[in-house]
Structure 1
Amino acid sequence: MTRIDTFTNGSLRFPARDSGPLDGVPVLLLHGWPQDGESWAEVAARLNEAGYRTLAPDLRGVTPTASPAGRSAYRGSALRTDVAAMVDQIGQPVHLVGHDWGAALAWNVACHQPELVRSLNAVSVPHPGAFIRSMATSTQGLASWYMYVFQLPWLPELVLGSQRFMTASLMGTGQSREAAARDARRNGVRGLRRGGLNWYRGAVLEPRDLGSPTSVPVLQVWSDGDKAVMRGSIERSAAYATGPYRLSVFEGVSHWIPDEVPDRLAAELVSHFEEVDQ
């Protein structure tokens, strides 16, 4: 057994951070936007201490070696093939953990390919069907105003190219100045900025399977300081879990849970992993 520093899916190459004991139960960590796999560093360190092997790749669109130009390459079904290829390279089912867009992708995988997943651990973002239904029936639609703006061509790339604007915007959602500046710098590369925005654009290109549930055990984590995802959409996620389901609410925490409270998140994850693996 050897370390994995790059995952591959066809011609796409995804740099990865593989840490912890090689014989530990594998945990695949999927980041959100506008971050990369490094955003999991503190959580991964704590999971490694608990005996788990963690793998945190840079996902499609945020690395030059896996950033197709067209938005059609960012449909949910295409993104799902990346995770399937990663699990195949790991060689066994994983505890799948996702934050933000990574959580939406994790739900997608767990619903369509549950054989790849020991447990689903979705942080900040609910099942896509729950989210879409909430957009049509609650204040979630207003909170998600930026998602409509991101559908525009070239303008979002131009505006978000200002690191000062991007940093201020991320701080407005609860990120620390240091973390916001870090993510704004990475987002400063135009090709990667376009790749991140294409997750929003690709999501509307194919019909969602709104009724697709998952049978794997689910931990849904949400924070009441989240300005992007409302509680109503989170609570709807339970309807998409036919197996064990638990909702954990972090009070006084922003959307950026892995950055803000890595100790608490890691503890919740370990507790869930142990329940599943016992």
Structure 2
Amino acid sequence: MQALHTTRAGVLEVASSRCGPADGPPVFLMHGFPYDIHAYAQVAPLLADAGCRVIVPYLRGFGPTRFLDSGTPRSGEQAALGADLLALMDALQVPRAVLAGYDWGGRAACVVAALWPARCAGLVSYNSYNIQDIARALEPDTPANEQRLWYQYYFHSERGRAGLAQDRRALTRLLWQLWSPTWHFDDASFERSAAAFDNPDFVEVVIHSYRHRFGLVAGDPAYADIERRLAAQPAITVPTITFDGSDDGVRPPAPAQAAAHRFTGPRSHRVVPGVGHNMPQEVPRVFADAVLELVRGAG
């Protein structure tokens, strides 16, 4: 990855990798949990070579990104992630960009696309509509899908918090293996990303995220209005490409019609064979091509 830059944006000092021409069409690439900006180590250069201005930020609680104030709640709620992305766009004076991501980062991109569509020239979202419906979070799923979410229920307990704090590398590596069972990553690839989990706020942000999405803890009052708007499950109107991986160990692939009512603008849904949860690192060219499809469409 390129040398890191830091930017004061909202409640954070955000560390990000940037590449490509400064006057190119801007693209934000948003990583998930438990991953980091190295998920885009091959995607970013492909986009830069095509003339894009590429920004890949570390999310709150990851890598060198830091909270500016020790008193700010270490929230991992979806509204906070979306607000962080919007604040970074403002700080970098980017009025409009293609937003692309998966997992937590895809959620941030979906939040901005849904609530501030004028800021989003196009959206690439892995796992389709990635805005949580917290009001229905305690409704049971199929037994098979419940089993996939064991780690979320683990984090609901203080035993889970202690387990994550005690050995975050072993736990996150297990998630990599379970979520992408056909992706044979090496030790070096994992360690490059695992360094990001040494952030002093990592455990608190992660635990809050997985408790808040089930309505088990309160959110940061600063984001209450955004959460209220998200509770209405707003439609995404911008041009969108959504993906599922056929081998995703978290969320099994779904047909396009399953989330069709959440997308009222142009949308293409694609299932990628042989891909698990970390799509941009597993098939970087496929992910980059989707981003470029929207960049060219916006131009």
TM above 0.5? yes
Partner of 1:173: 179
Moved more, 38-47 or 198-207: 198-207
Deviations 1:178-221 (A, max 9, x none): 33344344325563233233322333345652531021111101
Partner of 2:277: 255
Partner of 1:9: 9
Moved more, 95-104 or 65-74: 65-74
> RMSD over aligned Cα, in angstroms?
3.0
Q: What TM-score do you get using the length of structure 1 for normalisation? A: 0.85
Deviation at 1:28, TM superposition (A): 0.8
Aligned partner of residue 74 in structure 1, secondary structure: coil
Provide closer, same or farther for how the CA distance between residues 161 and 91 of structure 1 changes in structure 2, counting only shifts above 3 A.
same
- Residues 205-244 of structure 1 aligned to structure 2 (within 5 Å): 205=218, 208-232=230-254, 235-244=257-266
2:12, 2:65 within 8 Å by CA — same for their partners in 1?
no
Provide closer, same or farther for how the CA distance between residues 136 and 241 of structure 1 changes in structure 2, counting only shifts above 3 A.
farther
Deviations 1:39-91 (A, max 9, x none): 21211011111111100111112145138787663332232221111111233
Provide closer, same or farther for how the CA distance between residues 70 and 260 of structure 1 changes in structure 2, counting only shifts above 3 A.
same
CA distance in 1, matches of 2:232, 2:158: 27
Give the partner amino acid of 2:67: A
2:17, 2:56 within 8 Å by CA — same for their partners in 1?
yes
CA distance in 2, matches of 1:110, 1:23: 22
Q: What TM-score do you get using the length of structure 2 for normalisation? A: 0.80
* Percent identity of equivalent pairs: 24
What are the ranges of 5 or more consecutive residues in structure 2 without an aligned counterpart? 219-226
CA distance in 1, matches of 2:282, 2:149: 22
Deviation at 1:26, TM superposition (A): 0.2
Give the partner amino acid of 1:140: N
What are the ranges of 5 or more consecutive residues in structure 1 without an aligned counterpart? none
CA distance in 1, matches of 2:199, 2:132: 32
CA distance in 2, matches of 1:235, 1:134: 24
- Residues 81-92 of structure 1 aligned to structure 2 (within 5 Å): 81-88=83-90, 89-92=92-95
Which of 100, 115, 131 matches 2:103?
100
Provide closer, same or farther for how the CA distance between residues 69 and 229 of structure 1 changes in structure 2, counting only shifts above 3 A.
farther
Moved more, 118-127 or 230-239: 230-239
Provide closer, same or farther for how the CA distance between residues 136 and 65 of structure 1 changes in structure 2, counting only shifts above 3 A.
same
Provide closer, same or farther for how the CA distance between residues 76 and 129 of structure 1 changes in structure 2, counting only shifts above 3 A.
closer
| Mapped pair 1:187 → 2:171 | no
| Mapped pair 1:269 → 2:270 | no
Give the partner amino acid of 1:22: A
1:225, 1:252 within 8 Å by CA — same for their partners in 2?
yes
Deviation at 1:250, TM superposition (A): 0.8
Paired residue total: 275
CA distance in 2, matches of 1:74, 1:211: 19
